[in-house]
Amino acid sequence: MSKIKIAVAGCLGRMGQELSKQIMNNNKLEFVGGFEHKKHKNINKEFKKVSDINSSKLIYSDPTISIKSAKVLIDFTTPESTLENVKIAYQNNTAVIIGTTGMTDAQTKKVKSYAKKIPILMSSNMSLGVNLLFNLVQQTAFALKDTDYDIEIAETHHKHKKDAPSGTALSLGEYAADGRKISLNKSKVLDRTKKITNRKKGDIGFSVTRGGEIAGEHTVSFIGENDRVDLVHKANNRSIFVKGALDAAIFLSKKKSGFYTMNDLLFSK
């Protein structure tokens, strides 16, 4: 059985390096290369000379070179870069795994339009555990009504993370809102400092902590008058996101087209 050829966008970033290393250690996958921003200091240098990725391949600035030779592209970059990379993947019939967070509704809609021709799997979090949490939150929100239980979502990440709340926290909010058949846009509360008012029934509150090297922690609390239910996920390190992305790549390599989420992978077994 031939190996699945994988390319990595942002290959020298924190996630990019972990992905590249684990692809090389996976006997089902083949690392065909990666690319970085054209202004990156290590463009056109060998991986093994500038990182602990043991490959003599060159680091490209042109995404097309790697994407064209890959069966699947894995992208954990920025919304703007991701859109450009997906467009190139679309032109070269390459499947795409998107772990990029902070995508707008318009950007997501554009990604979905490309999925009419190529398979795309997009998730705010590649951890199978977090995706199981999504479903648990939806079920719990449905069972515990807003007249009895308030929903608060707390998340903590490393100090390097730029978007806040995290994409995962917002996704948890979406699942909670879906469970209660309400709109997250109308019920989410991101900042309680701008006006002094009581908490409204149906509000979904968010709180954010940034510091150190914490890979990711998320807690969804359902708070009633007499009890409280906490659904918690804590990532000890980034390996769970890498494993999820590689599992997703194997899953997606068997698809011809369509837009997928980690739910499709989670419940495909």
Annotated catalytic sites, by residue? 157, 161
Strand partners, 154: 207, 219
Residue 193 phi, psi (nearest 5): -95, -15
What CA–CA distance (Å, rounded) separates 194 from 266? 40
Encoded tokens for 107:
């950007």
Strand partners, 209: 156
**Conformational region of residue 202, where left means phi above 0, alpha means psi within -120 to 50, and beta covers everything else:** left
Task: Give residues with Cβ within 8 angstroms of 185, minimum separation 6.
Answer: none
Gap between the terminal Cα atoms of the chain: 21
What CA–CA distance (Å, rounded) separates 247 from 153? 28
Task: Lay out the sheet containing 204-210: strands in order across.
Answer: 188-189, 204-210, 150-157, 216-223, 228-235
Q: Report yes or no: 30 and 5 within 8 Å, Cβ to Cβ.
A: yes
Task: Lay out the sheet containing 4-9: strands in order across.
Answer: 29-35, 4-9, 72-75, 95-98, 119-122, 258-260
What CA–CA distance (Å, rounded) separates 52 from 49? 8
